Structure 1
Amino acid sequence: MGHAEQQKRRYTPAEYFALEEQSVVRHEYFDGEVFAMAGASKAHNTIAQNLVIALRSALRGQRCQVFMEGVRLAVQENFYYTYPDVMVSCAPADFQDEYLVRQPVLIMEVLSPSTAEYDRTEKFSQYRKLASLQHYILVSQATWAMDWYRRDEAGQWIHRLLTEPADILDISDLGLRLPLVEVYEASGIAPIRLGPPTTR
């Protein structure tokens, strides 16, 4: 989701929560600054739906919940709040709160041109501070490409790039096996096409 505008004044967390209750536009919050979120493209929306459908199917019968972009994440209490495109939480405490997720195991962001670099760098740097987070996945809107970051047992983040239609996002701890072709189904986005090598 893109940052449409930056508000000039600074907000307390309580003021931010009051703003969100009244506003038809969602805002992210970072250290007193509030950022309005831009609308999503149809392709963005379709990809997010495909991800949620796959996750809900995989998690059926498990004590986990899937949330879409309208649910707020407390990245750092009273300091940083965002609206990830897709989240999964298996924490009982998250089931009790009506509006906030605090312990996601998975976050997915569908990249927009205006926010792609931010999602890859500053936002990921903040998300890594979430002790519960095991998977961070960035999904391109430019072509079929998905960056999967997985935290290993030593706490290191392992990266895998998926670009082939037959590539599968295989997250065994969530029971998810999602082919890349299903991520982009009905999105109108074309896979990477390699042309013949150029001669000099």
Structure 2
Amino acid sequence: MPDAESLPQRRYTVEEYFALEEQSDIRHEYYHGEISPMDEFDLPADMAGSTKRHNLLVQNCAFALRLGLRGKQRCGVFAENVRLAVDLGQHYNYPDVVVSCDPADDDPRIVHAPTLIIEVLSKSTEARDRGWKFEQYQQLPSLRQYVLVSQSRLLVDSFLRTKHNTWELTTLRQLTDELPVPAINLRLSLKDIYEEIDTSPLRLANSVG
């Protein structure tokens, strides 16, 4: 079946979107009747090897969460290919990592009540992940924390929802730093998140020597 990019430009029902995803080789985002390939936000201009770095960072985050939750809180940790209902019936996408701890969140294909969302940034997606996507995620009443992990430098930004429904930013830049995840009583070390990732400081393109 062709992907949404080659389909006629029109609005699709949610049912048509779900049917497309069942048969498509790539993931699509659904927003108020519009369908867009997720890959369109990962442009060739990204650094060489970014796909492997991105994938490894996603795996590291998911593994650290699963390991930390083992034998403790019963939460589901899902990576990349599990759909999230950002706005039921209107907006669906695929976060890099999503955690749900709601026992009623038992849909086999879709997460409805995320507690934590992690996105791994790239050059082409960073502005969108920090801006429009975060605005959309803030609509989710269950969401307690939104984390952005840079793949181009050692940098993790964590936005934690306060009791006043505002978002408190914590920025971490050292391998010895730990990321608190209070909603699930965990602390994730940046050393684990960036395992096997070259975290050498970036050099200016025009630097000498």
Using the size of structure 1 for normalisation, the TM-score is 0.88
1:48 to 48, 58, 63: 58
**Equivalents in 1 of 2:194, 2:6: separation in Å?**
31
Matched residues in 2 for 1:14 and 1:173: separation?
Answer: 33
Distance 1:29 1:142, change over 3 A: same
Which of residues 171, 175, 185 is equivalent to 2:181? 171
Q: What CA distance in whole angstroms lies between the structure 1 residues aligned with 2:137 and 2:62?
A: 20
Alignment match of 1:161 (pick from 171, 192, 201) = 171
Q: Secondary structure at the match of 2:124?
A: coil
CA contact (8 A) 2:149 2:156 kept: yes
Aligned residue in 1 for 2:47 = none
Aligned counterparts of 1:177 and 1:116: Cα–Cα separation in 2: 24
Residue identity in the other structure for 1:186: E
Would the alpha carbon gap of residues 23 and 178 (structure 1) be closer, same or farther in structure 2, given more than 3 Å must change?
same
Greater RCO (Cα-Cα under 8 Å, separation 6 or more): 1
In structure 1, give the amino acid aligned to 2:139: K
Q: C-alpha displacement at 1:89, in angstroms?
A: 0.2
One-letter amino acid matched to 2:155: A
Is 1:57 the counterpart of 2:67? The answer is yes
1:1-200 to 2 correspondence within 5 Å?
8-38=9-39, 41-61=51-71, 62-94=73-105, 96-191=106-201
Deviating beyond 3 angstroms after TM superposition, the runs of 4 or more aligned structure 1 residues are 4-7
Shift of 1:59: 1.1
Partner amino acid, structure 2, of 1:84: P
Matched residues in 2 for 1:163 and 1:78: separation?
38
The letter for the 2-side match of 1:12 is T
C-alpha distance 157-64 of structure 1, shift in aligned 2 (>3 A): same
Unaligned runs of 5+ in 1: 194-200
Shift of residue 172, structure 1, vs aligned partner: 3.1
- 3-state SS of 1:107 partner: strand
Once the two structures are superposed, residues 20-53 of structure 1 have per-residue CA deviations (whole angstroms, 9 ceiling, x without a partner) of 0110111011111111122770000100111011
State which drifts further: 182-191 or 67-76. Answer: 182-191
Q: What's the C-alpha RMSD, in Å, of the aligned pairs?
A: 2.0
Displacement, 1:115? 1.2
